[in-house]
Amino acid sequence: MAETKFTPRVFSGIQPSGGLTLGNYLGAMKRFVDMQEAGGFQTIYCMVDMHAITVWQKPSDLTKNTRELCAGFIAAGIDPEKSILFNQSQVPEHAQLGWLFNCVARMGWMGRMTQWKDKAGKNAENASLGLFAYPALMAADILVYHATHVPVGEDQKQHLELTRDIAAKFNHDFGVDFFPIAEPVIEGAATRVMSLKDGTKKMSKSDPADASRINMTDDADAISKKIRKAKTDPDPLPDALAELAARPEARNLVNIYAALAEIDPQAVLDQHQGALFGHFKMALSDLAVAKLAPISAEMARLMQDQAEIDRILGRGAERAREIAAPILAQAYDIVGMVRS
């Protein structure tokens, strides 16, 4: 079969499931901006509110978090003219293609997803069906745009592989070369920012412990307090990265420093080897405040004009549908659904 040529197109999303964290910023948002600025790609970024409700969200929080996330995207450098910026539920084609993919994906594939196991925990019987099906909707988010590149944090790698499996199975089952096999883009020093309280656990916006994360809306005092109290160990910083292998909390702070300063983790050790954490944490907290304060100030400014945020989301959704609707229609034709 001749290989179909796909337009280079980037899609990625963030859930409005709580305040934006430093992990989301370094692992995802910053990459989104890079790809917007790189040229050569059409960039599409989404507040995935339908994913957020796979676990309980208080309605007023969901509304606020969606608008705040939109403000976060713009404050971090996403230009709603250059990129398409919208919330998922305003583009029904995601859910529609998601249903087709529920019928392509296999139960066994979904059951192997580590995020499902982590989030459903011991109480899987009581988790929502949506939480189990989430990765099929995520595949639809990406493939309804025929996206070719997906910038994400390390934790989403497995879902990206599943997206590729779903695309390949659809293409195979229907004898077409219709969906691209999207490439994950997992880059930088902070593809997996860890909790400040436990270096073996990912920093998450939905973690109940606020001290485990830095929120993009935290002020300078809160940022330095959280960094000061972050879990570490009594040893000084070594001169070689390999020596951090068994020190996850130390490694995490070095990675965060590197990603904020846009240098290699080894370069951080070159500058700070021998330092004790009391000292290194002060340097890290100054750097974090310098990088994050302008973003949080801009977020707060944008949040004052909610009508403008809603207008941006509405316009983004219109532009997204212009791409998604014809792709969904073709998928329906391939499946054999009658469209009158």
CB of 296 to ligand ATP, least distance (A): 17
Torsion sign, CA atoms 209, 154, 245, 238: negative
**Sole window of 202-210, 238-246, 285-293, 301-309 interacting with ligand ATP (rule: CB under 6 A):** 202-210
Cα(259)–Cα(150) distance, rounded to whole angstroms?
19
Choose which of 85, 160, 203, 223 interacts with ligand ATP (CB under 6 A): 203
Query: Least distance (Å) from ligand ATP to the CB of residue 1?
Result: 32
64 part of the active site:
no
Among 9, 11, 14, 50, binds ligand ATP (CB under 6 A): 14
Question: Does residue 58 have an active-site annotation?
Answer: no
Out of 94, 146, 202, 226, which residue is the one contacting ligand ATP (CB under 6 A)? 202
Q: Residue count at the site for ligand ATP (CB under 6 A)?
A: 21
- Taking the C-alpha atoms of residue 145 and residue 337, their distance in angstroms, rounded to an integer, is 20
Which of 155, 59, 61, 169 has the alpha carbon at shortest distance from 116?
155
The correct pick among 9, 10, 19, 23 for binding ligand ATP (CB under 6 A) is 23
Q: Is 119 a catalytic residue?
A: yes
Q: Transcribe 17-86 into DSSP letters.
A: SSS-BHHHIIIIIHHHHHHHHHSSSEEEEEE-HHHHTTS---HHHHHHHHHHHHHHHHHHT--TTTSEEE
Instruction: Work out how close the CB of 155 gets to ligand ATP at its nearest, in angstroms, rounded to a whole number.
Output: 5
Reduced to 3 states (helix: H, G, I; strand: E, B; else coil), residue 249 is helix
Between residues 201 and 315, which has the closer beta carbon with respect to ligand ATP?
A: 201
Quick check: 205 binds ligand ATP (CB under 6 A)? Answer: yes
**Which position has the token pair 């964290």?**
21
Which of the following is catalytic: 5, 64, 117, 202? Answer: 202
Q: Which residues are catalytic?
A: 119, 202, 205
